[in-house]
Amino acid sequence: MNDHPLARLACMASLLMAFGCTSPPPAATPSLYERLGGRPAITALVNDAVRNIATDPRINQRFAKTNPHHLQSNLIDLLCERSGGPCVYKGRNMADVHDGMQIRDDEFDALIDDIAKAMDKHNVPAAERRESLAILGQMRGAIVGH
């Protein structure tokens, strides 16, 4: 190796550029879908939420004529899609589905309550719970009062 100080400096600069100045790419933040546990976890959560709704006297009469399997399937796809998963919700938009039903705020809150109880049962962490319920809460305006 050349003992000239500039040669040593150039060599060190080359080494720093090659090894010392690179950093690994930042890790991608997992989607809510992934943090919830994917489709299997969302399916289990929704199944329990639908059971809660069916036994909740505050709102179960609203679902008396609803096909529970259809409701489950749509809720799974909706939550899956809106949480960043690969699913596609194929149901009608919320405003159209609830048009003429005159759903009240307390009924919407009961539904959210029943979903939250299912989240408790499945030990959904607080951050994911808040994020999921916020996604559902965004639909309030399309559901309540129509």
Q: What is the CATH number of domain 31-143?
A: 1.10.490.10
Rounded distance, CA 85 to CA 48, Å? 20
pTM for the whole structure: 0.80
State the maximum Cα–Cα separation within the chain, in Å, rounded to a whole number: 88
- Model confidence over 35-74: pLDDT tens digits? 999 999 999 999 999 999 999 999 999 999 999 999 999 9
pLDDT, position 15:
47
* Every domain of the chain and the residues it spans: 31-143
- Residues constituting the chain: 146
Closest CA to 47 of 112, 97, 109, 114: 114
- Model confidence over 76-98: pLDDT tens digits? 999 999 999 999 999 999 999 99
Closest CA to 119 of 103, 135, 107, 105: 135
